């Protein structure tokens, strides 16, 4: 499917001496702009990329892809030209999509270049470039690239970045397949793909999108599974380290946890106590201590006196335990409150960001009047009235700035609540620490009191001491048992997650290799070889040219063509590949293409005149499948005219600067352009 057709471009520079302009109509098939060097032909093709907000495809540091004639001063002719100072300038581009819908795009060059004004059959409005807050032009409903992708009919896929996150496959990453500028564009296929988005295999991803070889979801799935496996292995190492630390602290033995293995179904953490030269499990140790305590309790009960001090000290310990429980409950309630405040803050931040986007659009000159509901509150969406009681008199709505300030105040208010909760949480946590310290002291008192008060005779004292020691040991055993159970639950969960992810990864990789991309690649190869034949490529070398299943770019006998061919041969390969993508999309509904190809100075590296003539012949036939090709060249006019003879070509030649001063009777109405009939 061919996405767009360029109908017309217009470049205007308003100066102190009048208006300089150029209008160039385009047709389907081949369009050639011919002018001498430094006359402005590259300015015309760059205006196409600039008008579409795609100046990034013209190479790095090309934010302003125009000469100073559109920013500072322009001359009325090459010989003894008079300078005129530029006050403002803009580019207007008329486009049509595959459904036949037209749109006129206007973007300032010298002026507000972050706004694109659109007039179309179905839509009129201003859209922003760049970003508004954290939302970029490709994601915002008021972003120009979001509108353009929708106008073309593309649903841009999500791809994976080098840091494992997801992002869109932006238009700037796709259009270098169709647009070859003069300075760097001929160095290799997709020479000017921007890399600052951090997209993995971005050139391959762009080619896959165009060729409808849908592996994006598969690659995202594989990346996510790899991340899950890595996370599980890291968590497993932490689990082993934790288990070993617990064993060292409790002076027990632990069975070593082996590395994760899909063939091992069960992993267990087992702590062992050494008793009489025999290792026994935690549960056996618990049973042994419980039996000992039952026996000691029976013996002590018959001998121990009833003492008020001991009862009182036990009561003190119990009170402290209740206080600890109440403090713990209060801490949990504070955490719940903080969570609720965080949820409210998230909603407020989202609303604040939305209004910031509208403010950004307003600041770049856009019309936002249709985006603001003046009848309802932006927070609760209720009808606005002057008072709570009087439901007949409506209150004047807040301005955009007042809404932003109100939302900011709400954010500050809830942040203060959160701050208060955090402070209260700190007080409770400090109180908890103090209570734990006190109960330790009181437990020690209880221990010594029992030892002292039960000292009826040596036998009773020994029994009480033994029981207390057994209770301490049992407490430690129960804590260790709880840790062991928790570690085993974690081990089961981690091993299950790791095994599931590993098995799924194996299946995903198998599915990725099985995916049938061969048919579309063979079709592309066939068209490329036909083009190479037309361009007089060495016949013996054509059969060795293929399209890599890995990179989806031409290769020769399995090697990158850049390293294996001469410069002039590689230029012809770039012609062949770029035009093949256009032809394939023109004939295959599922294959996606921008709809037009731009070659700025296609006769690079002294490509032969015969080959270039054949290129013109080949490009002139693209109208048969509704394709469009645009050349900009400084080739001798007579030679070019001869090459274009008897061919259906839109040839536009300039003898002087392309931008010319309009005469009074040539000046049209400077109001915003409208759709032509």
Under 8 Å between Cβ of 36 and 601: no
In the three-class reduction of DSSP (H, G, I as helix; E, B as strand; rest coil), residue 547 is classed as strand
Domain presence at residue 110: yes
CB atoms within 10 A of CB 76: 18
pLDDT average, residue stretch 135-147: 89
Structure token digits, residue 384: 């606005």
pLDDT average, residue stretch 121-148: 86
Percentage of the chain beyond pLDDT 90 is 28
Under 8 Å between Cβ of 233 and 498: yes
Q: What is the pLDDT of residue 674?
A: 37
Domain presence at residue 297: no
CA distance linking residue 121 with residue 675, whole number of Å: 7
Total structural domains within the chain: 2
DSSP state of 74: E
User: ∠617-619-37 over CA atoms, to 5°?
Assistant: 95
Domain identity same for 390 and 536: no
Q: pLDDT band for position 109 (50/70/90)? A: very high
In the three-class reduction of DSSP (H, G, I as helix; E, B as strand; rest coil), residue 180 is classed as strand
CA nearest 134: which of 167, 112, 108?
A: 167
Give 408-454 pLDDT, tens digit per residue.
898 889 899 989 989 988 898 888 888 888 888 888 888 887 776 65
Report yes or no on whether pTM surpasses 0.85: no
Under 8 Å between Cβ of 495 and 267: yes
Q: Residue count of the chain, please give it.
A: 677
CA distance linking residue 479 with residue 481, whole number of Å: 5
Domain presence at residue 527: yes
CA distance linking residue 627 with residue 158, whole number of Å: 28
pLDDT reading at 166 higher than 70? yes
pLDDT reading at 111 higher than 70? yes
DSSP state of 373: -
Q: In degrees rounded to 5, what are phi and psi of residue 240?
A: -65, -45
Q: What is the pLDDT of residue 297?
A: 84
pLDDT reading at 284 higher than 50? yes
Domain presence at residue 393: yes
Q: pLDDT band for position 87 (50/70/90)? A: very high
CA nearest 604: which of 576, 568, 635?
A: 568
596 compared with 516, residue with greater pLDDT? 596
Point out the domain boundary residue: 453, 480, 508.
Answer: 453
Domain identity same for 52 and 174: yes
Burial label, 615 (beta-carbon count in 10 A; 0-12, 13-18, 19+): buried
Helix (H) or strand (E) holding 255: none
Q: What is the pLDDT of residue 224?
A: 80
Domain identity same for 441 and 531: no
Domain that holds residue 382: 306-453
Domain identity same for 656 and 523: yes
Q: What is the pLDDT of residue 550?
A: 84
Q: What is the pLDDT of residue 523?
A: 92
CA distance linking residue 87 with residue 111, whole number of Å: 9
Domain presence at residue 290: no
Q: What is the pLDDT of residue 666?
A: 53
Q: What is the mean pLDDT of the chain?
A: 84
Structure token digits, residue 428: 């409770």
Domain presence at residue 424: yes
Helix-helix angle 400-453:308-363, to 10 degrees = 160
Q: What is the pLDDT of residue 664?
A: 65
Point out the domain boundary residue: 453, 479, 503.
Answer: 453
Domain identity same for 211 and 345: no
pLDDT average, residue stretch 18-36: 93
pLDDT reading at 616 higher than 60? yes
Give 42-77 pLDDT, tens digit per residue.
899 999 999 999 999 998 765 678 888 898 999 988
Domain identity same for 406 and 541: no
Domain presence at residue 361: yes
Q: pLDDT band for position 104 (50/70/90)? A: very high
CA distance linking residue 174 with residue 161, whole number of Å: 16
Domain presence at residue 530: yes
CA distance linking residue 383 with residue 538, whole number of Å: 76
CA nearest 331: which of 425, 464, 470?
A: 425
CATH code of residue 333: 1.10.287
Structure token digits, residue 49: 């990329």
Q: What is the pLDDT of residue 395?
A: 59
Domain identity same for 57 and 196: yes
CA distance linking residue 392 with residue 389, whole number of Å: 9
H-state helical runs in 516-671? 518-534, 539-542, 561-564, 567-587, 609-620, 637-644
**How many helical (H) and strand (E) elements, i.e. helices and strands, does the chain have?**
15, 23
Q: Of 263-277, 311-325, 364-378, 628-642, give the lowest mean pLDDT range.
A: 364-378
CATH code of residue 41: 3.40.50
Domain identity same for 438 and 533: no
């Amino acid at each position: 499917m061919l996405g767009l057709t360029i109908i017309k471009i217009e470049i205007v520079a308003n100066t102190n001496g009048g208006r300089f302009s150029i209008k160039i109509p385009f047709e389907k098939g081949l369009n050639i702009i011919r002018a001498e060097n430094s006359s402005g032909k590259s300015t015309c093709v760059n205006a196409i990329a600039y008008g579409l907000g795609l100046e990034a495809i013209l190479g790095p540091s090309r934010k302003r892809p125009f000469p100073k004639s559109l920013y500072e001063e322009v001359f009325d002719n090459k010989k003894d030209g008079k300078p005129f100072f530029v006050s403002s300038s803009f580019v207007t581009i008329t486009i049509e999509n595959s459904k036949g819908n037209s749109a006129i795009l206007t973007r300032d060059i010298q002026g507000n270049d972050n706004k694109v004004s659109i007039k179309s059959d179905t839509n009129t409005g201003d859209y922003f470039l760049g970003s508004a807050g954290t939302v970029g032009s490709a994601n915002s409903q008021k972003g120009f690239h979001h509108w353009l992708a929708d106008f073309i009919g593309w649903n841009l896929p999500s791809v994976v970045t080098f840091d494992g996150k997801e992002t869109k496959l932006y238009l700037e990453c796709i259009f270098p397949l169709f647009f070859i500028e003069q300075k760097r564009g001929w160095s290799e296929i997709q020479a000017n793909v921007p890399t600052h988005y951090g997209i993995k295999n971005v050139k391959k991803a762009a080619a896959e999108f165009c060729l409808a070889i849908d592996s994006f979801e598969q690659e995202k799935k594989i990346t996510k599974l790899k991340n899950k496996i890595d996370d599980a292995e890291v968590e497993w190492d932490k689990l082993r380290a934790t288990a070993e630390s617990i064993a060292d602290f409790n002076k027990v033995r632990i069975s070593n946890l082996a590395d994760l293995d899909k063939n091992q179904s069960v992993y267990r953490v087992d702590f062992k106590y050494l008793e009489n030269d025999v290792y026994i499990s935690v549960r056996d140790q618990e049973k042994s201590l419980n039996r000992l305590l039952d026996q000691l309790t029976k013996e002590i009960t018959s001998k121990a006196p009833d003492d008020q001090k001991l009862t009182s000290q036990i009561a003190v310990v119990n009170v402290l335990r209740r206080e600890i429980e109440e403090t713990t409950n209060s801490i949990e309630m504070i955490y719940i409150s903080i969570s609720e405040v965080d949820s409210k803050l998230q909603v407020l931040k989202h609303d604040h960001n939305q209004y910031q986007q509208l403010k950004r659009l307003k600041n770049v000159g856009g019309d936002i009047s249709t985006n603001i509901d003046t009848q309802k509150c932006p927070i609760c969406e209720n009808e606005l009235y002057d008072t709570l009681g009087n439901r007949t008199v409506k209150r004047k709505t807040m301005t955009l700035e007042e809404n932003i300030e109100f939302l900011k105040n709400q954010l500050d208010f809830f942040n203060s609540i959160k701050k208060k909760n955090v402070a209260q949480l700190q007080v409770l946590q400090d109180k908890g620490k103090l209570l734990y310290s006190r109960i330790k002291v009181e437990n020690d008192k209880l221990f010594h009191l029992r030892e002292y008060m039960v000292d009826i005779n040596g036998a009773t004292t020994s029994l009480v001491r033994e029981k207390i020691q057994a209770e301490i040991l049992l407490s430690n055993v129960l804590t260790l048992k709880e840790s062991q159970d928790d570690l085993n639950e974690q081990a089961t969960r981690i091993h299950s997650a790791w095994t599931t992810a590993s098995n799924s990864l194996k299946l995903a990789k198998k599915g990725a290799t099985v995916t049938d991309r061969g048919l579309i690649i063979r079709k592309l190869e066939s068209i490329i070889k036909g083009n190479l034949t037309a361009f007089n490529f060495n016949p013996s070398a054509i059969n060795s040219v293929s399209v890599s299943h890995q990179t989806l770019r031409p290769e020769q006998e399995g090697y990158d063509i850049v390293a294996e061919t001469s410069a002039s041969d590689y230029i012809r390969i770039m012609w062949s590949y770029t035009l093949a993508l256009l032809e394939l999309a023109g004939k295959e509904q599922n294959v996606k293409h921008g709809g037009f190809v731009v070659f700025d100075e296609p006769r690079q590296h002294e490509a032969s005149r015969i080959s270039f003539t054949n290129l013109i012949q080949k490009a002139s036939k693209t109208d048969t499948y509704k394709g469009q090709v645009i050349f900009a060249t400084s080739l001798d006019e007579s030679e070019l005219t001869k090459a274009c003879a008897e061919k259906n070509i839109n040839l536009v030649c300039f003898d002087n600067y392309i931008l010319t001063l309009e005469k009074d009777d040539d000046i049209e109405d400077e109001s915003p352009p409208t759709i032509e009939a």
